[in-house]
Amino acid sequence: GQNIDQPTEMTATEGAIVQINCTYQTSGFNGLFWYQQHAGEAPTFLSYNVLDGLEEKGRFSSFLSRSKGYSYLLLKELQMKDSASYLCAVRPPWNQGGKLIFGQGTELSVKP
Amino acid sequence: EAEVAQSPRYKITEKSQAVAFWCDPISGHATLYWYRQILGQGPELLVQFQDESVVDDSQLPKDRFSAERLKGVDSTLKIQPAELGDSAMYLCASSLVEGDSRGRGNTGELFFGEGSRLTVL
């Protein structure tokens, strides 16, 4: 089975940097995704890691260590609009069809 | 930009009534997913289709929930009878899959619709 853990909530200040951690225990692994979800809206794709290391995309970066079952999402130069829930999701091996298994989400509040 | 279409956006019903949700995935996406998201939690997979076939419905409460994708394009999720605990956001998503020539090199990310928020009274 799959178990995904991430903090329930975090608070940060506008302009600062925040790191949201995610740990997972899986019986197979085929990629890790981060999604952003504003209240009442659908999740939107932020980043994807399948190999160890850092992927950078503008103000957002995501890191993966497969041996440690660990990932983090790094948000720089925080803006008020970054207040949202951030979902970590693991994809099992392709023979399970490509579905994603989501963590509970981390509610990030950005304060002035 | 292509989007996943869902309807209705909001649905209020009384317990024991029937309710149905519709989803039209992004054109060309063979894989379609229905997720349920309870407030404050992450999405939970209910059912996954590859074309018109069910790939995974292990978490679908089959005594009251049913899902179909008859022509391998759009899909319907039905609940009958609805219970208070069914109040949630029902999210539809679609994706390309590995091996699909149109998706070669793609991440297989899921594209979500706006969701259907169900309130059962």
Identity at A112, one-letter amino acid code:
P
Q: What is the mean pLDDT of residues A29-40?
A: 94
For residue B115, the distance in angstroms to the closest alpha carbon of chain A comes to 6
* Residue pLDDT, tens place only, A69-89: 999 999 999 999 999 999 999
For β-strands A44-49 and A32-37, DSSP reports them as antiparallel
Contact predicate A63/A53, CB 8 Å: yes
Helix (H), strand (E), coil (C) string for A16-61 = CCEEEEEEEECCCCCCEEEEEECCCCCCEEEEEECCCEEEEECCEE
Q: Which of B107, B111, B114, B116 to mutate to test the interface with A (most CBs of A within 10 A)?
A: B107
Q: Does A42 touch chain B (CB under 8 A)?
A: yes
CA gap B87, B85 in Å, rounded: 5
Q: Which residue(s) pair with A22 in the sheet?
A: A71
Give the pLDDT of residue B49: 95
Q: What is the pLDDT of residues B22-46, one digit of tens each?
A: 999 999 899 999 999 999 999 999 9
CA distance A69 to A57: 22
The reply to whether A48 touches chain B by the CB within 8 Å rule is yes
Tokens of B3: 């989007």
DSSP assigned state of A27: S
